[in-house]
Structure 1
Amino acid sequence: MNNIIQTFFNVDVLKEVTPYVLNGLWTTLALSLWVIPLGLASGLLLAVAGFVTKSRLVRGALVVYIDFFRAFPPLVLLIFLYTGLPYLGVELSPLGCVAVGFMLNNSSYFGEIFRAGLESVPPGQREAARSTGMSRLQSLIWVEIPQALRNVFPDLVSNMIEVVKLTTIASVVSVPDMLYAARTAQSMLYNPTPIVLAAAIYLALLWPLVIFLSHLEKRRHTATRPGF
């Protein structure tokens, strides 16, 4: 038992690495606050484009885009952007690679969520908005998108949680996030306690969001359950 404590919960190592790991935490939070809005905005744009267009070619292109990036491993995508683009004459910083890679990956998932939300809005809502003199764009902005957001809000929160966890792969391109800091400290001290600390911080950050998500899903289930 003492060996387990000294290996994974070493107090001396914990005191030494905590400031370093917390410094990486701020990078993780800043990265999340950057890539989540970027994914939301690009996903909403994809969903609206697919929802309003009448061109089969455009819809087909959007379907291919979404299916491709949902199937393509995000870690491989990130490595390709970081190591492959320079051969094409395009050089991005590690943070730029993460921003582009996450936008491509997240927009496909958020786009599908927004698409489902827009399709869940009854056509009568759009027709009623148009009958009041609203344009198609005004109907989308003021009537359809707000209702779509409300309908899929739990799904959006769920995907945001996944995005925060996904930020751990940013360390493979040397972005100094929390996992990068923990792995560096582990390699220097030959002790996995920093990794355990990082895992505990992720758990403390995301567990309240998971509880909040469960509450939202329970409310949605209650609201959609037929009465007796």
Structure 2
Amino acid sequence: MINILVNHWSEFLSGFWNTILCSLIALFFSLILGVGFALLEVAPNKFARVIAHIYIEIFRNIPLLVITMIFYLVVPQILFKVSGFAAGTIGLTLYTSAFIAETVRSGINSVGDGQMEGARSNGMTYTQAMRYVILPQALKIVIPPLGNQFINLIKNSSVLAFVAGFDLMYQADVIAFSSFETINTYMAVGLFYLVLTLPLSYYMRHLEKKLAA
């Protein structure tokens, strides 16, 4: 495995940075979309709740690879060309945002009704009460499960390998087929993923204990 790392270090490093970049972009936008659709799910407006429910059910129940392939193969035939990296990142964003939305919604629903009633009785609008009172409490509650979603997002970024996204798994496939060192190559890739996920996993455990205390 050491020989594989030494001989193909530049390819591994390139895939490693592409995986990090994809994960960060998808994490940022999936968090925004997830929180946004979670707020729509609990909104007083029925139409907004229906739209949010449709979005969440669609992207939560379609496999990530299918969503990615739609952007990589179908969208270019209808609208414009999408690179493998962009298709994978978009698919990962939409897929993860649906799960984040459900996580945040459960956090909002766990906040007592008296919090909203108290905020409204003090003159706040619904939006103000949600922004300053309900949502901060809900996000604090759902930090541990959100951490799990972020870790899953990093692992799911391997979907880029199917659409030439030049991530870790894509580079590993190229190296494995060219060097015939399949076992050592994928063991090396596993180490790279551990470098990404283990620190985040331990940090989320620490944060969960801190919040519980």
Relative to the length of structure 1, the TM-score reads 0.85
1-structure distance, mates of 2:48, 2:123: 28
CA contact (8 A) 1:17 1:194 kept: no
CA contact (8 A) 2:59 2:98 kept: yes
- What amino acid maps onto 2:25 in structure 1? W
Match of 1:81 in 2: 71
CA contact (8 A) 2:43 2:49 kept: no
- Unaligned 5+ segments in structure 2 are none
**Bigger radius of gyration, 1 or 2?**
1
Match of 1:113 in 2: 103
Question: Residues 117-172 of structure 1: CA distance to partner in whole angstroms, max 9, x if unpaired?
Answer: 11111121122222332222111111111100001100100000000000011121
Match of 1:203 in 2: 194
From 166, 176, 185, the equivalent of 2:175 is: 185
Report matched runs for 1:102-141 at 5 Å.
102-141=92-131
CA contact (8 A) 2:5 2:12 kept: no
Report matched runs for 1:53-92 at 5 Å.
53-55=44-46, 57-92=47-82
Match of 2:145 in 1: 155
Q: For structure 1, which segment, 14-23 or 42-51, has the greater mean C-alpha deviation from structure 2 after superposition?
A: 14-23
Task: Indicate the percent of aligned positions where both proteins have the same amino acid.
Answer: 29
Match of 2:39 in 1: 48
Match of 2:91 in 1: 101
From 168, 174, 186, the equivalent of 2:158 is: 168
SS of 1:52's partner is coil
2-structure distance, mates of 1:76, 1:185: 25
2-structure distance, mates of 1:153, 1:127: 24
CA RMSD, aligned part only? 1.9
Relative to the length of structure 2, the TM-score reads 0.91
Q: For structure 1, which segment, 15-24 or 26-35, has the greater mean C-alpha deviation from structure 2 after superposition?
A: 15-24
1-structure distance, mates of 2:40, 2:4: 52
SS of 1:53's partner is coil
